Structure 1
Amino acid sequence: MCVHTEEAAVLNRGGSRLLVCAVALACLALVGPSAPGGALSGAPLPVKAVKDVVPNRVMTWNLCNPCDASNLDRAAEIARHAPQVVGMQEACARDVDRIRDYLEVFHGLVYHVEYGTVLENWSRCGGAPWNPGGFGQAILSAAPMTDRVNVEYPEGGSEDRGYLAVTTEVGGRSVRVFNTHLAQRRQEEFREGQVRVLAGEVARHDRAVVLGDFNAVPDAPELDPLWALAMDTDPQCRPAPVGACDTTTDWRSKFDYVFLRGIAPVDHRVAATTHSDHDMLYTDLDVT
């Protein structure tokens, strides 16, 4: 009897993870993709590794929650660009587990994962009422991660918010990576305090990458402490308008950033997607 791929991924622990996913892949070949509303879409599935990760590429992506998106499709979107590091926001831990498994089994891309859970929320992430799913940030990295720190901001606004920080490898060099999601739009007073907390920690590092959904446009005053420490990967994006700034959301605002401290951008791209209300922003870096 075939195991549904999403259900199989829940069983992914230890050495059994690859076996379960392999069984799921074989079942998929026999019975085809699931019906609408299931884990899988009708799109053709790759059966071989698509490429290695790009070692100096980092990505930020708000997955959108709640949204009717397949984790298999999310994995395919990430694999298309194959970043070394991916920072996800509005991420359910179970979804991230599945995305990671699909990246490995269907695309040959192997990632480590760290979670920055700020809520245990049944309505956001499902699970049993007595064991709701974890919701918050997550980081995937092709290299191992160390020195994990998960911080919940003192005041989150209408929903708990925080940042996740790890040390990992980008472009062959050790880099401190932060991933955050700030308070919702029209909650500037909360974002101001959150940025102060985040900037205070970023300032401790000579080389850092700060990923996230900041829910604020580049000239929003609450972002000033970060602009004082770092630059955005988009050279046209500054607190004062100096050129065309790429937008990153369905409502055509720039809310998603890759702030760089002690690291130079090489190239960046906003990759449109139908699987979230935020596009993916990724950048290639010169960490030397």
Structure 2
Amino acid sequence: MLVGSLLAACMMLVGPSAPDGTSAKTVEAVRDIVPNRAMTWNICNPCDTGNAGRAAEIAAYAPQVVGLQEACVRDVEQIRQYLENLYGLVYRVEYGSVLRSWGRCGGAPWRPGGFGQAILSAAPMTDRVLVEYPDGGSEDRGYMAVTTEVGGRPVRVYNTHLAERRQEDVRARQIGVLSAEVGRNDRAIVLGDFNAVPYAPELTRMWTVAADADPQCRPAASGVCETTTDWQSKFDYVFLRGIAPLGHRVPPTPYSDHDPLYTDLKTT
């Protein structure tokens, strides 16, 4: 009985261990999800990091909606389990897998894991669409969209990952497809890794239909834009259409080569 009591006390002090062997630090009390907060994060794949750490990063900011890029279905499912079991944060999920990749996501060779985007939302999601870009560049790419609730109001949320660097012409065509769809909405949030700095010419059409969540970040080299990657470039965006930002952060993380970017929104 004494040994059992000591073990229980130790668990309360250090927190549970995640099933993948990663030490997972729990929050002292269950946090409430922030209802008007949106977050985008390229979680990096392949990267040598555990899903418990990724979940801890999301739980630290508890956004209402999260867009993940370079996401394997198996990883996202595990992240959701950690968020609920370790932090009491319950999210629904919709996937935007654009390819099946055994090398990236594992699984049986004849049934590789899905790879692409995912959206986590605390509120129900409807009207999911997945669109693959006609030209993905060096790897299949696309965007997904759902309708969900942010800040107590319905909004169309997009999540995308554009073609890799040095493929400017491909990204320009992809943005043409995405911006045309975003422009049909009165209110929209666009999350994603655009693989382009704000003043890149291929982003021009995106800037015509939405604004960056950072009011100081604009499509000019003189704009003051926080970097979001380990190589000190801004590639990650929360674009807003018909919604005003209240504030944003780009907290550093050891769990990816991209930092998470989140913004609080004025939706009323």
TM-score by length of 2: 0.92
Residue 216 of structure 1 is matched in structure 2 by: 196
In structure 1, which of residues 37, 41, 44 is the aligned counterpart of residue 22 of structure 2? Answer: 41
Residues of 1 paired with 2:149 and 2:207: CA distance? 24
Letter in 1 for 2:199: D
Deviation at 1:269, TM superposition (A): 0.3
Amino acid at match of 1:42: S
What does residue range 1-288 of structure 1 map to in structure 2 within 5 Å?
Answer: 33=17, 39-42=20-23, 45-46=25-26, 49-288=29-268
Distance 1:140 1:93 in 2: 12
Q: Distance in 2 between matches of 1:199 and 1:58?
A: 19
Task: From the superposition, tell whether residues 48 and 108 of structure 1 become closer, same or farther in structure 2 (CA, over 3 Å).
Answer: farther
Alpha-carbon distance in 2 for matches of 1:89, 1:266: 24
Per-residue CA distance 1:55-93 (angstroms, 9 max, x = gap): 000000000000011101100000000000000000000
Unaligned runs of 5+ in 2: 1-7
Query: Whole-Å Cα distance in 1 between the matches of residues 29 and 81 of structure 2?
Result: 13
Distance 2:21 2:239 in 1: 34
Change (3 A) 1:243 1:222: closer
| Cα displacement (A) at 1:50 | 3.0
TM-aligned CA deviation for residue 262 of structure 1:
0.1
- Partners of 1:170 and 1:202 lie apart in 2 by 17
Aligned equivalents of 2:160, 2:256: Cα separation in 1: 17
Cα displacement (A) at 1:29: 5.0
Aligned to 2:4: none
Residue 17 of structure 1 is matched in structure 2 by: none
Q: 1:47 to 1:265 in 2, by over 3 A?
A: closer
1:238-273 deviations in Å (ceiling 9; x for gaps): 111344210000000000000000000000000110
8 Å CA contact 1:248, 1:278 repeated in 2: yes
How high is the sequence identity, in percent, across the aligned residues? 70
How many correspondences in the alignment? 258
**Which consecutive segments of 4 or more residues in structure 1 shift more than 6 A?**
none
CA contact (8 A) 2:243 2:266 kept: yes
Contact between 2:218 and 2:224, CA under 8 Å: does it hold in 1?
A: no
Could you say what secondary structure the match of 1:271 adopts? coil
Could you tell me the TM-score, scaled by structure 1's length? Answer: 0.86
AA aligned to 1:72 is: A
Q: Distance in 2 between matches of 1:86 and 1:227?
A: 22
- Cα distance in 2, alignment partners of residues 48 and 39 from structure 1: 22
Task: Measure how far apart 1:54 and its partner are.
Answer: 0.2
